[in-house]
Amino acid sequence: MTSKSEDVLLQVSQVRYKKGDGTLYLMSERLAWILDHKDTVCVSHRYADIKLQKISPEGKPKIQLQVVLHDNTTSTFQFVSRQGTAAAIKERDKVKDLLVTLLPKFKTKVNKELEEKNRLLSENPSLLQLYRDLVITEVVTSEEFWASHASAYLNKNSHSKQQVGVSGAFLADIKPQTDGCNGLKYNLTADVMEAIFRTYPAVKQKHRETVPGKYTEAQFWTKFFQSHYFHRDRINAGTKDLFTDCAKIDDQVLSKEMNEGVSDPLVDVTSFEDNTLAEGYGTSLENNKVPVQNIVHQSMIKRFNQHSIMVLKACQDNPVSQDVSAPPQVNGTSDSKGDSPQKDADSL
């Protein structure tokens, strides 16, 4: 049914499509629908081909979700759970929430891919002529051309791509808004979610473990913004919730980084201090230590250091490929209720 490289992120049975009942699958790069008692895929849409999704308004007898493609063709799925309307709505919302997370990533990806392919064609006349001979004359499809005849160009160019770093103030940019009911609403974009995952791997692991099996996307982020982990500088340390062990993991990472020290002497600020211990010269380490009495200040400084370390590590996880002949470079700078992330699902 799927290739080995595809992972099934969500599977929902009792979904009707054109009067036939089957199972809806949301995979890593596409959604698919298979008729009951059949092995072949009847409906398959790549996320990159989907322009938007729509859902049926509340109160309508049919619980539906519709995907609209870039060519304006549509596929409508009706959720017909035997457990009743409430169960059907819950299953539909699981699909909707997951698509809200997936679709923006592939919109950005497909735009960048189109720009890159156009650039390759303009810079390589022989490749452009081959494209005209094969694709324009409909000998092969565009997907087959780029996969079989132009893969060498794409692979060669992929080594020069550079990943955008994580802003050190991305959490400060998430400004909550009042929802009119004594609560706060956080509007999250796919870029902010990705920045949180890259900077805090423990949160990413929690997301993998609990979404969509235990919580919906909206429930997960609501718990995150309500958690002691997010507000650990403001509330008592004894609070326990879903993200309690994330803080422990952060402490372990910080302790490891402090023990390893900084390999580059140009950015090791501790080496700037005068630590001469010979009698009659310099200063003593014990005299230089200034005790910090306020535990809140200690916690805040510790969190700033940990956040800075994780931002730098997020930028170093996927280094840009370099020529092996190039010399190595050591130094360089190169109480709220919460709400769901911003949705782009319209009504049918």
Q: What is the CATH number of the domain that holds 84?
A: 2.30.29.30
Could you tell me the pLDDT band of residue 321, with boundaries at 50, 70 and 90? very low
Determine the 3-state secondary structure of 46 from DSSP. Answer: strand
Across the range 32-49, mean pLDDT stands at: 89
**Mean of the per-residue pLDDT values of the chain:** 73
**Same domain for 212 and 90:** no
**Same domain for 299 and 216:** yes
**Same domain for 147 and 172:** no
- Neighbour-count burial for 272-301, b at 16+ CB within 10 Å, e otherwise: eeeeeeeeeeeeeeeeeeeeeeeeeeeeee
How many domains does the chain divide into? 3
pLDDT at 326: 41
What spatial distance separates the first Cα and last Cα of the chain, rounded to whole Å?
30
Domain extent at residue 255? 167-260+291-317+335-343
**Same domain for 239 and 136:** no
Cα separation, 155 vs 147, whole angstroms: 11
pLDDT at 337: 44
**Same domain for 53 and 153:** no
In the predicted structure, residue 156 carries a pLDDT above the cut 70:
no
Across the range 73-86, mean pLDDT stands at: 92
- For residue 69 the two structure tokens come to 């493609």
Each residue of 7-23: pLDDT tens digit?
889 999 999 999 899 99
Each residue of 105-140: pLDDT tens digit?
887 666 677 778 888 888 888 888 888 888 888 788
In the predicted structure, residue 26 carries a pLDDT above the cut 90:
yes
Longest dimension (CA), the chain: 92
When mean pLDDT is compared across 153-157, 180-184, 190-194, 324-328, the lowest value belongs to: 324-328
> Is residue 281 domain-resident?
no
- Expressed in percent and rounded to 5, the helix, strand and coil fractions of the chain are 45, 15, 40
pLDDT at 298: 67
> Is residue 266 domain-resident?
no
**Same domain for 183 and 313:** yes
> Is residue 100 domain-resident?
no
Backbone φ and ψ for 100, nearest 5 degrees, come out as -60, -35
- Neighbour-count burial for 109-118, b at 16+ CB within 10 Å, e otherwise: ebeeeeeebe
Q: Are strands 30-35 and 20-27 parallel, antiparallel or unpaired?
A: antiparallel
> Is residue 284 domain-resident?
no
- DSSP code, position 129: H
Across the range 217-235, mean pLDDT stands at: 69
Backbone φ and ψ for 51, nearest 5 degrees, come out as -85, -45
Across the range 90-105, mean pLDDT stands at: 91
Which has more confidence, 137 or 311?
137
Locus of tokens 């956040």: 307
Across the range 158-177, mean pLDDT stands at: 59
Closest CA to 101 of 191, 205, 210: 191
Cα separation, 24 vs 19, whole angstroms: 14
Cα separation, 309 vs 249, whole angstroms: 14
Across the range 73-102, mean pLDDT stands at: 92
Bridge partners of 301, per DSSP, are: none
pLDDT at 244: 67
> Is residue 234 domain-resident?
yes
> Is residue 130 domain-resident?
yes
pTM assigned to the model: 0.38
**Same domain for 131 and 29:** no
The answer to whether the CB of 21 falls within 8 A of the CB of 88 is no
pLDDT at 277: 54
Strands (E), 56-147: 64-69, 74-79
Bridge partners of 46, per DSSP, are: 30
**Same domain for 217 and 177:** yes
- For residue 66 the two structure tokens come to 């519709």
Could you tell me the pLDDT band of residue 172, with boundaries at 50, 70 and 90? low
**Same domain for 219 and 133:** no
What's the CA angle centered on 91, arms 87 and 92, to 5 degrees? 115
> Is residue 274 domain-resident?
no
pLDDT at 200: 78
**Same domain for 299 and 246:** yes
**Same domain for 296 and 201:** yes
Each residue of 233-257: pLDDT tens digit?
544 545 566 666 676 777 777 777 7
> Is residue 283 domain-resident?
no
Query: Residue 33 CB: number of other CB atoms within 10 A?
Result: 21
**Same domain for 305 and 171:** yes
Phi-psi region of 180 (alpha: psi -120 to 50; beta: other; left: phi over 0): left
